Amino acid sequence: MNVNIQFREDGDLLVGFIEGEIDTYTAPVLREELEVINLSEGLTIELDLSNVNYMDSTGLGVFVAFYKKVVKENAALKLVNLSGRLTRLFEITGLSELMEIEKGGATNASI
């Protein structure tokens, strides 16, 4: 399985739609896509994970590294539309205490 990401920019909001599986094989692709984002103070990045059906610890590592980079630049990161399984993964690792995470439901962003 592959991972795909598409972005839509709206002022100080950058919405990314991630689809597929995030594992040892696909995490480098996701990392590269996130690294090219031009972070600036006041920017909010909202990553929609509604179409992510699997993520392992490698994927978590990508999000942790990206989160650290975002915070360093005084920007904000929000993960939205996580399945129950992904939400639980972030909870048991303690990452839900650091990152803003919105479980399931619809977001006002669409492609």
Per-residue pLDDT tens for 70-83?
999 999 999 999 99
The pTM (predicted TM-score) of the whole model is 0.89
Confidence of residue 96 (pLDDT cuts 50, 70, 90): very high
Alpha-carbon distances of 67 from 12, 47, 78, 96, rounded to whole Å: 17, 11, 9, 12
pLDDT tens-digit series, residues 15-61: 999 999 999 999 999 999 999 999 999 999 999 999 999 999 999 99
Please give the Cα distance from 74 to 108 (Å, whole number).
24
Name the band, by pLDDT with cuts 50, 70 and 90, for residue 108.
Answer: very low
Cross-strand pairs, 6: 17
Given a cut of 50, whether residue 106 has pLDDT beyond it is no
Query: Please, what are the domains in the chain?
Result: 3-103 (3.30.750.24)
